[in-house]
Chain A
């Protein structure tokens, strides 16, 4: 079985996120970039498929040269190879543009199953996996909190507000996983060292047959015209408890007003 795990580079989730005033995209200067934390779950799931079915797992990353450490980080969990699509024209792509690049990249590779994170920790649109499925005409089983492969069938438990549905599809298929699906392991020391010499193929948009005009900021379906920094926190209201019970009533009213209760 051949499995592909698309991964994303995101600004450190603990750091402060900023937009670049020039092109109004995420400002990556001065913020540390990390492997998207949601990918730790999709990678763990792929590693389990490797352990259980001997799957051959390839990492796919769309991003500039400077994202290479993120590819190596993903490989350090014991994955086999990586493909990185790098092209200046990709910068500023929206979810659909990104999905186009991923879909074309996937068309250029061999696979039975693609395991996405259900969303990225920076954009959080949850759109890309389903969009890729549509573009490729392949079933996409999203929001999986459980995944299993039996022969040429993939079964997932698809999470929703009231519980989950059991959904299955024939391979080839796409899956996106939620964080409840597993407990990601730490990479091993030998995995980290081995990641340096795992094969990494770099491709351009031309290599995978994507027209520059179909992606990037220019092709995005929404345009951001303006943004403002979040206003500083206001002082808040202090409720004094004089022992009469008035404070509790005041708190309850406030929570009702804010629709917390």
Chain B
């Protein structure tokens, strides 16, 4: 059993030191160069930070999801592309570790957990975004393996990842006809399109994967069974969405930090602007939203952790997570990312003209916040997920 609070304190000290001295000062340069910060990710691996919520036999630290999310928050506070990068990496790794056969888990997971390889998750397609089950990428059975044809879209780490979790259709139309494959970057028949040109998060490449008659061996069919793909994709997203909430909390905290520091120093009408109630109330609301977002994220994480081990929810099963957290995770993602959108917008306002310039990071935070309302299910889709859960009762 872990002595959790102490372990968590040591871990957060390590991460805060690293984020403050190694990550934050370099974020802007990586953004401007549109370069994925691979050396920072490699360093996370060497510090044992790429496998926190994974079992020890896979090289992980078997830490609660709560602790992992607090680490994501700290990294995202310093540099969203890195925090979100670790979140997406974990999303893919979790799917493979949770649904892989024992042989697949041994073969594909340890290098991801150790951060030697970078993971990615390919569900969306050009014509199947919110309605992911309508995907058209096909995996045809061919002798001992499969032939993949089609285009996956919007893949975070597309072109820089080493290992992709790819959803493709092996059977009938709809969710039940989808399977999941573990595909490596050197897969013959796989090419990566040039990265998308985006509003923000330039250091996190987003690209299409193009499969043309790509021969994927059958031992890369995740779980060793056809038809599990959509369930794998959705179960992975439960944790993934908590990860996005953590990214949002970190980003909001960064925006709040910048705005508060500025408001204490900037003087107008003979006093620091934070002493004008109109500004102080804006900051108070930003701080309150951020605190509330963090609270929702951690409360849902705790339910997930209890389910995985001890506590009142033990024994309830939901696709390997132990407790139906699909709707609560959607709520955390929805609440935190909407809150962060408003908070980053307000941070620009607090800085006035300076906030609109690239001399300060507030404008970057604003551009970055927007993507969090879109990825891993738009916030409309989160509401749809929550609404359906309510309808089922």
Contact = CB atoms under 8 A, between A and B. Distances in A.
Contacts of A187: 14, 47
B46 A192 contact: no
B48 A188 contact: yes
A190 B43 CA distance: 14
A193 B43 CA distance: 18
B175 interface: no
A260 interface: no
A170 to B, nearest CB: 34
A109 B245 CA distance: 53
Q: Is the interface of B mostly helix, strand, loop or mixed?
A: helix
A189 B22 CA distance: 16
A193 B47 contact: no
Contacts, number: 29
B49 interface: yes
A120 to B, nearest CB: 21
B47 A186 contact: yes
Nearest to A192: B10
A188 B46 contact: yes
A187 B11 CA distance: 10
B18 A186 contact: yes
A189 B46 contact: no
A185 interface: yes
B225 interface: no
A72 to B, nearest CB: 10
Interface residues of B, number: 14
A189 B10 CA distance: 8
Contacts of B61: 189-190
Interface string B22-42: 100000000000000000000
Q: With a 10 A CB-CB cut-off, give which of B46, B47, B52 has the most chain A CB atoms.
A: B47
Interface in A168-203: 185-193
Nearest to A191: B48
B267 interface: no
B18 A189 contact: no
B7 interface: yes
Interface size class of A (residues with CB under 8 A): under 10
A189 B48 contact: yes
A191 B48 CA distance: 9
Interface string B147-189: 0000000000000000000000000000000000000000000
B14 A190 contact: no
B114 to A, nearest CB: 11
B311 to A, nearest CB: 23
Contact of B49 (A185, A189, A193): A189
Contacts of A188: 46-48
Interface string B324-346: 00000000000000000000000
> By CB atoms of chain A within 10 A, which of B10, B43, B49, B61 has the most?
B10
Contact of A185 (B7, B11, B46): B46
A190 B49 CA distance: 9
21 contacts: A185-B46, A186-B17, A186-B18, A186-B46, A186-B47, A187-B14, A187-B47, A188-B46, A188-B47, A189-B10, A189-B11, A189-B47, A189-B48, A189-B49, A189-B61, A190-B48, A190-B61, A191-B48, A192-B10, A192-B11, A193-B7
Given A186-B46, A187-B14, A190-B48, 14 more contacts: A186-B14, A186-B17, A186-B22, A186-B43, A186-B47, A188-B47, A188-B48, A189-B10, A189-B48, A189-B49, A190-B61, A192-B11, A193-B7, A193-B10
